[in-house]
Amino acid sequence: MSDPTQTQSSKINFSLVVFVVFLIASITILIWQVAKPFSQEVSKTVSDNRQSIDISIVYAPELDPIMQSAINNFNDTFNTGVNPLNGQKLKDGDKKIKVVGQSISSGEARTKIVNSINQSGSKDFTPTIYAPTFSGWLSLVNFESGKPIFDLNNFTSTAKSPVGIAIWENRLKSIQNKNPNKEIGLAEIQQVFDSPNGWKDYDSSINRKQIYFGFTNPQISSTAVSALLTQYYSATSPQSEQLSLSEVKSNQAQKTVQNYQKLIRQYSNNTVVFRDYLGRGPDYIDMLPLAENDLIFVNQGKSQNKPPEKLVMLYPKDGSIVHDYPMVIPEADWVSQEQKDAARSFIEYSLSSDVQQKYLENGLRPANPNVQLDTPITQEFGVDQNQPKKVLKIPTGEVISQIQLNFDFVKKPAKITLLIDTSGSMAGDKIAQAKKALQLFVNKSSAKNEVGLSSFDSSQRVLVQPQSLESSKGQITSGINELIATGGTALYDALVQSTEDFNSSNGQKGVTRAIILLSDGQDTSSSKYKLADVVKKLEESQKSDSPILVLPIAYGGDADLNALNSISRSSKTVVQTGEVKDIEKLLENISSYF
């Protein structure tokens, strides 16, 4: 006889199994129904992605706000299924275009492109569009690669910006007053340098003789290349219509440009350093080559500090190179025909009124004639729409390459003392990294510069007197390797002594004299001099034909920033700050100042 409880339990178990099977089946069907369209959407997305054409553009850093906006709008419009060129919906089979942008200096980009062309196998830098500051870089790529990578007779200019000389309005007026009814050019600026009392012969309120002229690196900076081109054009007599290789190679032209370069107080890789100097006023810098858009940027107060006085653009009578902002598709194997067609669409979009208005807002003269010149291309921001009266032709890549090659010869030479804190607080990783950074500085310096090495703890030691780096490099390297950290910090005594060592030698008007001071702490051991003595010495130096620049580096968090700032102000320089991890990069950057 069966147990009724067991029978009842079997029925319950069977019902439960049936229910579970039904539930699982229902959930499976539901999941399939839900997953089916999701799966189809994933498939559709993958299909859409396969239908896009990816292109890349490398562009000059000053275009960053324009290009970021243009690229985002272009991509977003395509993503909605609309062609941004005509506002029409994409048809079935039409491919979307996706643009990726990268900001990089024009000179650096040109080097990377040339390297990618000349390397066999992997190519690390393969843009679909190259958008440098001016078309001279296109000519250089063609020349340096030995191939017609860019069609120089058929490219799109997206904007224009003449290069002149940014100068304080009062300084320009003082030069104009000395040259009534004359246009001002490089020769008239040179006359200030050659005048017996310098600026004092032009304006008694300027309490120094020396011109403070800045200049950037022509291997990287478009403005520097353009300024050098103007100098070489000025050096040809009669002035050439287009510079030739023989002209830039001539001794006379190089000597004239060398004289122009004697005006330079400090060099730098780019204009970033000088924007800071301009914000500090005429005591720090008198003038420097600048493109219109950069001058407008400074006068609008977009740099670190708004200038305390009005800056204006001098369009020299010698003529101006005009930055033409080309957008060009390279004739290279990394660009397909499909990408070329897509790239032309983006270039065309860059000429649209909306994008061209962005160019204008950023101080560039639009290429689209439907966008009229307006603010900020106005005298309010120091520029003149009716200038330049004389536009210079951009020469061949071979000529530009020769001018860059000449630069190390024509640039102003420097006499430099590396003055290094080797007190006990520098022990360990600090002194080890400082040694590496110092050696990098020496390796990057021009062989014609004179470089010396001194250290200080409780007292100063002159390890190598400043002399031609070509002959002293081995001694300096040995001196750097022998640096050890011990003792106190006689910063003031060491700095005054280094200044007096400079003054005891024959100061040359056409030579930059500089002390690079690296310190990680406060003065604890000076017995002869105080901070006030250092400041007085340096202020007196600024009035001479060859003022001494002191470039203080605050190394680490314990450096005496108050004292170093006082030192830099009296020398009309700026304190650099560095930690152990980035001291090499900092000294490499400072090497570009000479």
pLDDT tens digits, one per residue of 387-441: 999 999 999 999 999 999 999 999 999 999 999 999 999 999 999 999 999 999 9
CA dist list (Å): 593 to 184, 445, 451, 466 = 28, 9, 14, 17
Alpha carbon 464 to chain centroid distance?
33
> pLDDT value at position 240?
85
Q: Which CATH superfamily is domain 160-323+385-408 in?
A: Periplasmic binding protein-like II (3.40.190.10)
Q: Which long-range contacts does 467-474 make (Cβ < 8 Å, 24+ apart)?
A: 469/442, 469/445, 473/442
Quick one: which of 237, 63, 83, 234 has its CA closest to 134? 63
> pLDDT value at position 122?
57
> pLDDT value at position 505?
64
CATH topology of 160-323+385-408 equal to that of 413-591? no
93 torsion bin: left (phi>0), alpha (psi -120 to 50), beta (else): left
CB 496 within 8 A of CB 459: no
Question: What are φ and ψ of residue 313, in 5° steps?
Answer: -95, 125
Fold of 53-159+325-363: D-Maltodextrin-Binding Protein; domain 2 (3.40.190)
pLDDT in tens, 147-185: 999 999 989 999 999 999 999 999 999 999 999 999 999
Work out the number of other CB atoms within 10 angstroms of the CB of residue 138: 25
Say what the pTM is. 0.87
> What would the two tokens of residue 36 be?
């089916």
Cross-strand partners of 534: none
Q: First CA to last CA across the chain, in angstroms?
A: 111
Alpha carbon 132 to chain centroid distance?
13
Q: Does domain 413-591 have CATH number 3.30.70.1230?
A: no
Quick one: which of 370, 387, 368, 230 has its CA closest to 295? 387
DSSP E strands: which ranges in 132-282? 156-157, 159-168, 213-216, 264-268
Work out the number of other CB atoms within 10 angstroms of the CB of residue 85: 14
Residue type for position 422: T
354-380 residues labelled b (16+ CB within 10 A) or e (exposed): ebbebbbebbbbbbbeebeeeebbeee
Work out the number of other CB atoms within 10 angstroms of the CB of residue 237: 10
Query: How many Cα atoms are found within 13 Å in the side-chain-facing hemisphere of 61?
Result: 14
416-433 residues labelled b (16+ CB within 10 A) or e (exposed): bbbbbbbbebbeeebbeb
Cα(487)–Cα(225) distance, rounded to whole angstroms?
48
Cα(548)–Cα(503) distance, rounded to whole angstroms?
9
Cα(367)–Cα(189) distance, rounded to whole angstroms?
32
Alpha carbon 241 to chain centroid distance?
30
Cis peptide before 376 (omega within 30 of 0): yes
H or E stretch covering 354: helix 353-361
Query: How many Cα atoms are found within 13 Å in the side-chain-facing hemisphere of 165?
Result: 30
> pLDDT value at position 387?
98
H or E stretch covering 479: helix 469-481
504-535 residues labelled b (16+ CB within 10 A) or e (exposed): eeebeeebbbbbbbbbbbebebbeebebebbb
DSSP E strands: which ranges in 118-254? 129-131, 156-157, 159-168, 213-216
pLDDT values of the chain reduced to their tens digit, one per residue, 594 residues: 444 434 444 444 444 444 444 444 444 443 344 333 322 332 233 334 447 899 999 999 999 999 999 999 999 999 999 999 999 999 888 899 999 999 999 999 999 999 988 875 557 899 999 999 999 999 999 999 999 999 999 899 999 999 999 999 999 999 999 999 999 999 999 999 999 999 999 999 998 889 999 999 999 999 999 999 999 999 998 888 999 999 999 999 999 999 999 999 999 988 888 988 999 999 999 999 999 999 999 999 888 788 999 999 999 999 999 999 999 999 999 999 999 999 999 999 999 999 999 999 999 999 999 999 999 999 999 999 999 999 999 999 999 999 999 999 999 999 999 999 999 999 999 999 999 999 999 999 988 899 999 999 999 999 999 999 988 899 999 999 999 999 999 999 999 999 998 877 655 678 999 999 999 999 999 999 999 999 999 999 998 888 999 999 999 989 999 999 999 999 999 999 999 999 999 999 999 899
CB 419 within 8 A of CB 555: no
Q: Where are the domains of the chain?
A: 13-49, 53-159+325-363, 160-323+385-408, 413-591
Cis peptide before 61 (omega within 30 of 0): no
Cα(301)–Cα(296) distance, rounded to whole angstroms?
9
pLDDT in tens, 426-466: 999 999 999 999 999 999 998 889 999 999 999 999 999 99
Question: What are φ and ψ of residue 518, in 5° steps?
Answer: -115, 120
Count of residues in the chain:
594
